Amino acid sequence: MSSKPEQFSQEVAGFMGGGRCFLLAKGRVGLYVGLRALQLPRGAKIVMPGYTCMVVPSAVQFAGLDPVYVDIDPVTYNLDPQQLETETRKDIAALIVQHTYGIPCQMAPLSQWAASRSIPVIEDCCHTFGSRYQGRLCGTFGSFAFMSGQWNKPFSTGLGGLLLVHDAEVADRSAHIIATEGHDPGWLKNAVLHAQIVTYRALVRPGSAMLLTSLYRLCNKYGLAIGSSSQGEMKGKMPARYLTTLSPCQVSQGLREMTRIDDHIRHRTRMVAFYQAELPRIGLTPLPSDVAQGLPLLRYPVRVANKQELLDLAARARVEIGSWFEVPLHPAGTQMEWFGYRQGMCPEAEAASREVINLPTHPKVHANAAERTLAFLRKFARPT
Ligand SMILES: Cc1ncc(COP(=O)(O)O)c(C=O)c1O
């Protein structure tokens, strides 16, 4: 009989239709391991969208590589294939594509661009588990994909990450790196994570999400909870025991989530259809139907002219509205220059950071909460 971690890995690989799945403490750690396993020359350039979480370029740097930012398409929020065509550097060693909010990237032109340079494609699937591009699941196109099991991601293991490798040699090397350098989370971390998962399950609802998130960040700052990123990481400092594997309570939570993943995908798809139909009625612009139709988006992005004011009002009214990405390398406060990002590099990403809020589609959002969100937006949101 297989162990629980083996069972979880096999279930994820089975869902994705193949590959070898490794269980890690965070999604970024999956990227780090996969990049190391590609054995790229030190200092090689890795192209990625300039609209992401800062832990993505930091993982690239921790692997001894150099992030290069390409701007996004203002409609899909994904790396713009036309912008990529203008990228002429010779020393690019890999392309990271990110299916932002669960919207699939234009994989045909992006894969073609990478193939023309004989470089691997890496899929950042931290926002997606179930979106498809031309009928094929996101996460199955590249040499490897990484996913996040963080609280607000498509399936949650509390915190956590998955590395799904499609290339057999890269998979063997990943297994070796994890076996020789990986840390076990240990019983204390397992116990704290377990307590956090139970608390999250019991307390977090659309009405309490923003308040509890602020409280959680505060606890993390003072070392009272296990959080997503350390202060040092935001300045490019590699945390101790960065390469840690998933703890037993997270594996159990992952297995639990896998039993419900199809229901969750259906729920998110219904929520997307709801926002698609309702946003025009309150004067806000929905995603074009060919971008959003039938997709289980993680969050539903909407542009507004008064983002910060709206977020402040939403926090007071206890309406769950998300702010990512706040800056091209989220969150606000990141020393972006540490990661090689200079203001003005990606104008579309900077405009999106100023204007885009996102609406929840997760399984705890039901008709009442969604109606409340819309009533709030009708009253306070100003269209761009
Ligand atoms: C697009 C994107 N990629 C990667 C990550 C990293 O995931 P994790 O926090 O599990 O490392 C995040 C985190 O929010 C993200 O938004």
Structure tokens at 177: 């790196």
Domains of the chain plus CATH, in order, are 4-181 (3.40.640.10), 186-229+240-248 (no CATH), 251-380 (3.90.1150.10)
Instruction: Quote the pLDDT of residue 236.
Output: 85
Long-range contacts, stretch 195-201, CB < 8 angstroms, 24+ apart: 196/158, 196/225, 196/226, 197/157, 197/158, 197/249, 197/250, 197/253, 200/151, 200/156, 200/158
Could you tell me if the CB of 124 is within 6 A of ligand 1? yes
**Separation between Cα atoms, residue 237 and residue 351, nearest integer Å:** 28
Q: Rounded to 10 degrees, what is the CA torsion of 9, 247, 193, 250?
A: 20
pLDDT band at 11 (very low <50, low <70, confident <90, very high): very high
**Separation between Cα atoms, residue 349 and residue 347, nearest integer Å:** 5
Report field, pTM of the whole predicted structure over 0.75: yes
Cβ(275)–Cβ(286) below 8 Å: yes
Cβ(22)–Cβ(162) below 8 Å: yes
pLDDT band at 88 (very low <50, low <70, confident <90, very high): confident
DSSP 324: -
User: Mean pLDDT throughout 210-225?
Assistant: 77
Structure tokens at 110: 């992006």
Structure tokens at 84: 């990529």
pLDDT band at 215 (very low <50, low <70, confident <90, very high): confident
Q: Ligand 1 center to residue 55 CA distance, Å?
A: 7
Cβ(305)–Cβ(355) below 8 Å: yes
> What is the DSSP code string of 270-294?
HHHHHHHHHGGGGT-PPPPHHHHTT
- Which of 32, 25, 33 has its CA nearest to residue 173? 33
Could you tell me if the CB of 233 is within 6 A of ligand 1? no
Cβ(143)–Cβ(30) below 8 Å: no
**Backbone phi, psi, residue 176, to 5°:** -65, -45
Query: In the chain, what percentage of residues exceed pLDDT 70?
Result: 100
Q: Edge-to-edge strand order for the sheet containing 66-70?
A: 20-24, 161-165, 144-148, 121-124, 92-98, 45-49, 66-70
**Summary mean pLDDT of the chain:** 93
Instruction: Quote the pLDDT of residue 34.
Output: 98
Among 148, 162, 229, 339, name the best residue to mutate to test ligand 1's pocket (greatest count of ligand atoms within 8 A of Cβ).
148
Among 150, 157, 246, name the best residue to mutate to test ligand 1's pocket (greatest count of ligand atoms within 8 A of Cβ).
150
Q: Ligand 1 center to residue 150 CA distance, Å?
A: 8
Q: Ligand 1 center to residue 167 CA distance, Å?
A: 22
pLDDT digits (tens, 9 = 90+) for 267-314: 999 999 999 999 999 999 999 999 999 999 999 999 999 999 999 999
Which of 15-19, 180-184, 185-189, 259-263 has the weakest average pLDDT?
185-189
Cβ(111)–Cβ(89) below 8 Å: no
Atom index in ligand 1 nearest the CA of residue 28 equals 11
DSSP 243: S
pLDDT at 223 over 80: no
Atom index in ligand 1 nearest the CA of residue 98 equals 1
pLDDT at 222 over 90: no
Instruction: Quote the pLDDT of residue 158.
Output: 81
Cβ(275)–Cβ(305) below 8 Å: no
Among 55, 99, 220, name the best residue to mutate to test ligand 1's pocket (greatest count of ligand atoms within 8 A of Cβ).
55
pLDDT digits (tens, 9 = 90+) for 341-367: 999 999 999 999 999 999 999 998 988
